[in-house]
Structure 1
Amino acid sequence: MKTLIINTHPDFSNENHFSKRMEGMFLKLYYDQFPGQDVDILNLYDEEIPQITNEQLLGIWNKQVAGITLSAEEQRVFELNQKLLAQFKEHHRIVIVAPVHNFNVTSKMKDYIDNVLVARQTFRYTAEGSVGLMTDDYRVMLLQASGSVYTNDDRYTPLEFQRTYLQAMFKEMMGFDEFSIVRLEGTQTSGVDVEEATEAARRDLEVEFGKFYK
């Protein structure tokens, strides 16, 4: 089962970040469970991710619709887009390693979604609405680290836009069979014991990991 880890943190190599610690937890479980196998890791802030701008994806799509030949630079950007899309589709297990930035995904993660949420590739439009095409036992797990706590049913709970956005895009739009989340939360919240929160995340991950590869 091919697994792709997408690290969305700008400072993706810093082992002190809690999302990076969660990535390490996942990898330990993976290598213990599947010795000799490997995962693919995509650090978004170490890659060129095409954007929806007139100079990049938007301009490319408009030219393709109009039957206009792409420039050499536009062709290069389009090939980057196609490579990301192909990589995404060939992995049936997607793990998103993510901090919460201003209650939402990081900017590069939004750019990445714009490259893989593509009509006739990962979903299609019908008269009754859109239908997901990623239905062949595709599963996604969000490993989310946050300074705030989003599970106390208080003012922060409805502000967990990263989780709601990604769940909608992967499960509702693209048709993934399962969306799961493991939270390491409250790392900047007064009264939260960070070590206890980390251990709770580790326990939750062990449970979700078993379901992920079931």
Structure 2
Amino acid sequence: MKTLIINTHPDFTNEEHYSIKLQKLFMEKFQESFPADQLTLLNLYDIEVPRIEKGQLMDVWQKQIAGEPLSATEQAVADQSAHLLAQFKEHHRIVIVAPLHNFNVTSRMKDYMDNIMIARETFKYTEDGSVGLMTDDYRVLLLQASGSIYTNHDRYTPLEFSHFYLQKMFEEIMGFDQFSIVRAQGTSVITPQAVWANVPADMQKAFDQFYAD
């Protein structure tokens, strides 16, 4: 099963970050379980991710709709966007490695989503609303680190938009069969031992479900 890891952390080489620790734990389990298989690792802050703005995707899409030729710069943007979409679609297991930034996904992750949420590619519009096209046993696993704790059903719980946003986009819009999350939370308010206490068991459970037949 082809697996794509999308690392959304701006400081993705710093192994002290808990999201990077989560990624490392996942990769260790993957190598133990599938020693003959290779992971695809995509560090969003190490590549160009086209954005919806003038000079990039806005101009590309407008010209494509009008049937107008693209400039060399616009063609490079279009090619990169098409590559990201094709890479995404060919992997049936998607792992998102993410810190929580201001209760939401990182800005580069939002840019990435704008390149894969493409009508007639990953979803389509119908008279009854949008329908997902990613329905051939696609699954996503979110590995999230956060400074605070968002599972105590207090005032902060409904403010954590990132996993709600991702779950709805992947499951409700694109049609993924499964969305799971493993959290390392409270990194700014509790001890490292407490942060990590439940992570190994949570990871094992999510990993087993992620690759279950």
TM-score tier, shorter chain, comes to over 0.9
Aligned-residue offset at 1:193: 2.8
Letter in 1 for 2:51: Q
Letter in 2 for 1:212: F
Q: Does 1:2 align with 2:7?
A: no
Q: Does 1:103 align with 2:97?
A: no
Hey, what's the Cα distance between the residues in 1 that align with 2:116 and 2:83? 10
Aligned-residue offset at 1:194: 2.1
Hey, what's the Cα distance between the residues in 1 that align with 2:149 and 2:197? 15
Aligned to 2:76: 76
Aligned-residue offset at 1:26: 0.1
Aligned to 1:160: 160
Across the two proteins, how many residue pairs are aligned to each other? 212
User: Residue 141 of structure 2: SS of its match in structure 1?
Assistant: strand
User: Residue 13 of structure 2: SS of its match in structure 1?
Assistant: coil
Aligned to 1:93: 93
Letter in 2 for 1:94: I
Q: Which runs of 4+ in 1 moved over 2 A?
A: none
Q: Does 1:120 align with 2:120?
A: yes
Correspondences of 1:191-206 after superposition (within 5 Å) = 192-206=190-204
TM-score, reference length from structure 2:
0.98
Structure 2, unaligned stretches of length 5 or more?
none
Aligned-residue offset at 1:38: 1.3
Cα deviation digits, residues 29-58 of structure 1 (max 9, x gap): 101111121100000000000000121101
Hey, what's the Cα distance between the residues in 1 that align with 2:50 and 2:88? 15
Cα deviation digits, residues 75-111 of structure 1 (max 9, x gap): 1110000000000000000000000000000000000
Letter in 2 for 1:164: F
Hey, what's the Cα distance between the residues in 1 that align with 2:178 and 2:36? 26
Correspondences of 1:1-214 after superposition (within 5 Å) = 1-189=1-189, 192-214=190-212
User: Residue 183 of structure 2: SS of its match in structure 1?
Assistant: strand
User: Residue 143 of structure 2: SS of its match in structure 1?
Assistant: strand
Structure 1, unaligned stretches of length 5 or more?
none
Aligned-residue offset at 1:7: 0.3
Aligned-residue offset at 1:197: 2.1
Letter in 1 for 2:167: Q
User: Residue 52 of structure 1: SS of its match in structure 2?
Assistant: coil
Quote the sequence identity (%). 59
Hey, what's the Cα distance between the residues in 2 that align with 1:173 and 1:194? 36
Hey, what's the Cα distance between the residues in 2 that align with 1:202 and 1:196? 12
TM-score, reference length from structure 1:
0.98
Aligned-residue offset at 1:199: 3.0
Hey, what's the Cα distance between the residues in 2 that align with 1:40 and 1:199? 28
Root-mean-square deviation (Å)? 0.7
User: Residue 198 of structure 2: SS of its match in structure 1?
Assistant: helix
Aligned-residue offset at 1:150: 0.5
Letter in 2 for 1:27: M
Cα deviation digits, residues 112-147 of structure 1 (max 9, x gap): 000000000000000000000000000000000000
Letter in 1 for 2:134: M
